[in-house]
Amino acid sequence: MKIRAVCRGNPEVLSGKKYKSGINKTAVSGPMMVDAEGLVGDSICNRKHHGGVDQAIYLEGSLDLAWWAEELGRDLPPGTFGENLIVEGLDNRTLAVGDRFAIGDVLLEVTSPRMPCATFAARMGEPTLVKRYARAARAGAYCRVLQGGMIEAGQDVVFTAYHGVRVTLPEMMATYGKPLSLQDRQRYLAAPVNDRWTREM
């Protein structure tokens, strides 16, 4: 695996909206610094729902973006979904909480799926995208930064699967907002899940 693109956003007001968002991201050339809060210089405007140490980096697999490009019938340049990183050859559906990506000195750990929102639909100009994204169960991954450093396109990625009980991203999407069984709740809490999810369980 390799990093296909590193993407950063600036605050912009989306069409039809009154608030600013950093979802419009574009690929950058050269190395970028990653710290505990994510890509240094990347814009995060709504701290209530986005950003923070458990959602520091939003990562997408190239196979999922290719699938979405065909599904939507349009090109998806790097950053279109608001992602910070695109990993070549990755299928998001295989990911689980606790899976890790080592990229040079940088070490990322998956914490939860990206859940679609109205801002995402507005960014894409697709009013039905929230439901379509949820149904497709091909969510990108939010990651925490276990070790910071410099990152750039073209770097090798070393993937390590979580050794505990796996809580997959498609499973988390399917159970979002629904009551969990005691067994599933215990599984979720035993994994290094995003703190926003644990507070709502």
Structural domain includes residue 123: yes
CATH code (residue 141)? 2.40.33.20
Sign of CA dihedral 81, 87, 66, 131: negative
Structure-derived torsion over alpha carbons of residues 86, 91, 92, 94, reported in degrees to the nearest 10: -140
Sign of CA dihedral 145, 149, 151, 157: negative
Q: What is the rounded CA–CA span in Å between residue 199 and residue 192?
A: 13
N-term to C-term CA, the chain: 34
pLDDT score recorded for residue 50: 63
The helix/strand count (H/E) of the chain reads as 6, 13
Residues with Cβ < 8 Å from 163, sequence gap 6 or more?
Answer: 98
Burial of 142 (0-12, 13-18, 19+ CB in 10 A): buried
Report how many domains make up the chain: 1
Structural domain includes residue 29: yes
Structural domain includes residue 201: no
159, two tokens:
């993937």
Structural domain includes residue 160: yes
* Tens of each residue's pLDDT in the chain, 201 residues: 999 999 998 777 666 666 666 677 889 999 999 999 999 988 764 566 566 789 999 999 999 999 999 999 999 999 998 899 999 999 999 999 999 999 999 999 999 998 877 777 777 778 888 888 888 989 999 999 999 999 999 999 999 999 998 999 999 999 888 888 899 899 999 999 988 878 776
Residues with Cβ < 8 Å from 174, sequence gap 6 or more?
Answer: 137
Amino acid of residue 142: Y
Q: Residue 50 carries which DSSP code?
A: S
Structural domain includes residue 153: yes
Neighbours of 56 (CB within 10 A): 24
Which residue reads 């939003």 in tokens?
58
Structural domain includes residue 138: yes
Amino acid of residue 160: T
Task: Give the residue numbers spanning the domain of 150.
Answer: 3-196
- Nearest C-alpha neighbor of 152 from the set 26, 1, 22, 33: 33
